[in-house]
Structure 1
Amino acid sequence: MIVVDACDEWSPLREVVVGTAYGAMFPDEDPRMIEATMPREHWANFRAGHPFPSRIVDAAERELQALAEVLETLGCVVHRPQRVPWAGLGGYCAAMPRDCLLVMGNRVLEAPMAWRSRRQELLAYWPLLRQLRPSGARWLPSAVDLALDPHTSGPSHSGPWVIGEGRPAWDAADFLRLGPRTVLGQLSHVTNRSGVAHLRTQLGPGINVHLIQPDDPHAMHIDATLCPLREGLALYNPDRLDPTHLAGSPMDGWELVPAPSPEPRDHPPLYMTSPWVSMNLLVVDNQHVLTETRDEKLQALLGSYGMTPLALPFRNVQAMGGSFHCATLDLRRDRHRAEARNRDHRAISSVDERPA
């Protein structure tokens, strides 16, 4: 039985899905989408039937297995997707479960993704999803006609995005959870306004979905732009976000810390992301956060805020389009313990601040 109860990005992690790189293929997508979101030097790789280099896939699978083992040592129940032959299905991979599934409270929502190469990704997670009902979790399928192409069907979008509004489209990785009633997200090349309306309907009236708009012409997923570390503290990408953009948002009043600029790199190639994938962190609890081994400046910064970085090799997973946050899907976080710790912290702070 899988237990589902997670509504933020920082409470102690108790149950999680870790992806698999097995059979990873370069997505075959509309050229407009590739040119809008992918690094120019790698555009030619995005064609039908083209697998990622086997050395990168094999190394990424070892990195994901090491991540799963570390999380187990920290007390997490770890689930893995089943292996799917993506080459025969025109698919991508199941290394990034955070992209296609959104957990909010006891709900697990299927994202109606814009990329046609990702519309069968649910096959990898279906054996896990079948275990939800006995625990009382709610599975919410997208209920969207995915045969419609948001690029070509319906009215064009009035903004800078390559998808229109022909059908609702959103990626789960365009949204962050900030508490039991709050989701923060963005419009992007894979999330349109009708998709946000669809998400609001799926979540119900008790949950507020608040949009911000970072300065990112290649926007696709928010988790290399903002990274909540604990309630009231977050890293932000200074190349994409001015903290004043968060005024009036649920993060108004938070302490916002600029992430250090990532070091240039070329091996293995970042086929699908910018070097800012270094910000794609996984907070395990109020102390531990997973980082890539070579991101030493980021580790030092996290340490200065009282966190303990857990450094793991993850560059081959990053080559395929994401890092620790994307490669995991937290199913259960112990928010009640986190809330108790926050109350204790506030009480201690108020005592410390009393005049002598």
Structure 2
Amino acid sequence: MIVVDACDEWSPLREVVVGTAYGAMFPAEDPRMIEATMPREHWAEFRPGHSFPSWIVEAAEQELQALAETLESLGSVVHRPRRVPWSGLGGYCAAMPRDLLLVMGNRVVEAPMAWRSRRHELLAYWPLLQQFRQSGAHWLPSAVDLSVDPLTSGPSRSGQWVIGEGRPAWDAADFLRLGPRTLVGQLSHVTNRSGIAHLRTQLGPDTRVHLVQPHDPHAMHLDATLCPLREGLALYNPERLDPAQLAGSPMEGWELVPAPLPEPCDSPPLYMTSPWVSMNLLVVDHQHVFTEARDEKLQELLVSYGMTPMPMPFRNVQALGGSFHCATLDLRRDRRRTEASSSAGSTSG
């Protein structure tokens, strides 16, 4: 029986979903979205019916399988989504479960994602969701009309983001969990203020959402900007975030460590991310953390803070748009060491 109970990013990992690269397609989105979020040199790849190179997809699936096997060897129960023929659905892939689903305690919340190419992504996780519900977890569907395109359903209040406010939109990867009732998140090209209000409604008034404002004109997903390693310690992206911006947040008083500049990566291409995807880490417990095998400077930094890096090849998964954090959805973490954690935080937005 699947057990769902996770409320932070660092407690010992006991149960997890690892994505699959099967059938990965380039997202076919409005050019305005692609130009706002994707690396300029790869814009031409984002067209209908265009698959990622087969050698990258095959290598990415091998990397994901290796991650699943390693997690099992560490004692975690691992689940995989079912394979879906994305080419017939105009879809993307199921390699990044963290983008679609947010686990908060025993609640699993579906994100009303802004990208049209991801409207059918829930199909890959539906058998698992049925098991979640049977085991007593609370399933919270988005309850949003996803046929409404947030790019054309109203202007952005600030003009900074490509999506408007006509319908709620948020991606789960724009949020990080700091305790049973505390989230840190951001507005971005895929998360709007209507979406923040929707998430607050879904989670209830006892959950606080504090928004940070990174200096990132291409903002889409917070987990390459901020990475909690354990309670009181986090990596931050020095190009995007000034630690002073976290004053008054639930992370005030934390030790904030600038991540090293990413190692160059020419092959395979990073079609959908910046090199800062190196910060997209999976913390297994208060000490162990998965890193990409070639990110040696980052590994050295983690060692200096008492962490034990677990380097694995993951460049092909990164080519599909994420890394260890995005490619996993932690269902259960051991809360025994975090029940006394403070959930105090301020609400903004």
Q: State the partner residue of 1:54.
A: 54
**Can you list the C-alpha shifts for 1:136-184, whole angstroms capped at 9, x where unaligned?**
1100000001111101113443240000001000000000000001000
Secondary structure in structure 1 of the residue aligned to 2:336: helix
Contact in 1 for aligned 2:232/2:254 (Cα 8 Å): yes
1:64 aligns with 2:64: yes
Letter in 2 for 1:100: L
Whole-angstrom distance in 1 between the partners of 2:338 and 2:195: 31
Q: State the partner residue of 2:177.
A: 177
Whole-angstrom distance in 2 between the partners of 1:283 and 1:295: 16
Contact in 2 for aligned 1:7/1:178 (Cα 8 Å): yes
1:199 aligns with 2:213: no
Gaps of 5+ in 2: 343-349
Whole-angstrom distance in 2 between the partners of 1:147 and 1:331: 29
Structure 1 or 2, whichever has the larger Rg, is 1
Q: State the partner residue of 2:136.
A: 136
Whole-angstrom distance in 2 between the partners of 1:134 and 1:337: 27
Contact in 1 for aligned 2:3/2:132 (Cα 8 Å): yes
Whole-angstrom distance in 2 between the partners of 1:236 and 1:156: 27
Q: State the partner residue of 1:124.
A: 124
Contact in 2 for aligned 1:157/1:165 (Cα 8 Å): yes
1:148 aligns with 2:169: no
1:218 aligns with 2:218: yes
Secondary structure in structure 1 of the residue aligned to 2:257: strand
Q: Compute the RMSD of aligned alpha carbons.
A: 1.2
Whole-angstrom distance in 2 between the partners of 1:51 and 1:134: 35
Whole-angstrom distance in 1 between the partners of 2:88 and 2:124: 14
- Pairwise mapping of residues 1-356 of structure 1 onto structure 2 (< 5 A)? 1-338=1-338
Whole-angstrom distance in 2 between the partners of 1:207 and 1:337: 20
Shift of 1:308: 0.5
**Can you list the C-alpha shifts for 1:7-27, whole angstroms capped at 9, x where unaligned?**
000000000000000000000
Contact in 1 for aligned 2:263/2:294 (Cα 8 Å): no
Shift of 1:339: 5.3
Letter in 2 for 1:257: V
Secondary structure in structure 2 of the residue aligned to 1:239: coil
Whole-angstrom distance in 1 between the partners of 2:339 and 2:71: 22
Shift of 1:2: 1.1
Whole-angstrom distance in 2 between the partners of 1:241 and 1:130: 39
Gaps of 5+ in 1: 344-356
Secondary structure in structure 2 of the residue aligned to 1:157: coil
Q: State the partner residue of 1:354.
A: none
Whole-angstrom distance in 2 between the partners of 1:25 and 1:218: 21
Shift of 1:52: 0.1
Shift of 1:265: 1.6
Letter in 1 for 2:275: P
